[in-house]
Amino acid sequence: MDANASQSPTSRNALLLISPFFLWGTAMVAMKGVMPLTSPFFLAGVRLLPAGILVLLAALWMGRPQPSSWRGWLWIGAFALVDGALFQGFLAQGLVRTGAGLGSVMIDSQPLAVALMARFLFNEQVGMLGWVGLALGLFGIALLGIPNEWLTALMAGQTDWLGDSTLLEALMNRGEWLMLLAALSMAVGTVMIRYVCRHVDPVVATGWHMVIGGLPMFVLSGLGETQQWQALGWSNWMAIAYSTVLGSAVAYGVFFYLAAQGNLTSLSALTFLTPVFALLFGNLFLGEVLSPLQWVGVGFTLMSIYFINQREVLLANLRQISASWGSKSAPSDSAS
């Protein structure tokens, strides 16, 4: 009984840390499933604005203070532009041209950018094992995100793997470049939350940035899109509701609450879990199949998460082993 009680806080903390990435990965699958029946900017707006209202209502229920200074509103506006409008806009447009799993993979290349910015802005120490973990994660993402036919052609020494297109044209046609822009937007937003929270409560900031960031999506949808909801059925609206309530309101609220008080590099590194969830559920619900190379990429991704988030424990163990070997060799050295 006591053992279970002592273990429960740790289990709850682990579930809390993982929950945003599970919800983001599965929400990506839900979005991809309804994308053929709606339009990108409309879906981005629906995912942002109602979710932001829910977060603000939760903040009101919890008694969280509203912004009280012009600096706070300026930071919320910048946060809304970068992590709201730009991130969700690039994501929705890119998802039209990529699979749910691979699209998630491209977005989740952002921990390296977060690690670099956090290192220079907040002096967060990454360490050798942390950099090794990030390198493994990026290699895994490359195996997951680069088309298999390109890798096969490169390994075979072929030079016509792009056909008549340039590399940029090929990536634009596949949507990967939009997902990378979404990744950069999310990375900047993750770092910005530290500055935002100097002036605004993190939960309130999360809600307002989603509301404000969602408004341009509806404007762009109204100006350039048609037939946004006419083809949507009950199951499609349920998928959108999942993406909005759990994949946005809950996931963003938990993530930015943790980002405001935790180590950004370690937290951001957990985003490597998002494509794993997206790939697995994409295979289950959308029939997206992983190739052997992509499974290898998943393996490297999981290894990277372990290295980054356990780097201090691993380093302490290495020091202990080194000290142990040193103490064993000391008597023989003194005897000689």
What pLDDT is attached to residue 263?
A: 59
How buried is residue 335: exposed, middle or buried, by Cβ count under 10 Å (0-12/13-18/19+)?
A: exposed
Can you give the pLDDT at residue 72? 92
pTM beyond 0.85: no
Cα pseudo-dihedral 108, 111, 113, 115, rounded to 10: 180
Residue with the larger pLDDT of the pair 12 and 123: 123
Per-residue confidence (pLDDT) for residue 235, from 0 to 100: 92
The one-letter code for the residue type at 183 is: A
Positive/negative CA dihedral, 235, 236, 241, 242: positive
b/e for 36-62, b at 16 or more Cβ within 10 A?
ebbbbbbbbbbbbbbbbbbbbebbeee
Residue 4: band (very low, low, confident or very high) from pLDDT cuts 50, 70, 90: very low
Q: How far is CA 75 from the centre of its chain?
A: 21
Q: What is the pLDDT of residue 7?
A: 43
Q: What is the pLDDT of residues 62-100, one digit of tens each?
A: 899 999 899 999 999 999 999 999 998 998 888 888 777
**317-334 exposure pattern, b = at least 16 Cβ within 10 A, e = fewer:** eeeeeeeeeeeeeeeeee
CB 190 within 8 A of CB 268: yes
Task: Give the Cα-Cα-Cα angle 231, 232, 233 (nearest 5 degrees).
Answer: 120
Residues comprising the chain, all counted:
336
Model confidence over 252-267: pLDDT tens digits? 778 877 776 665 666 7
Q: What is the mean pLDDT of the chain?
A: 79
Q: Within 35-69, where are the H helices?
A: 40-61
Phi then psi dihedrals of residue 92, to 5 deg: -65, -40
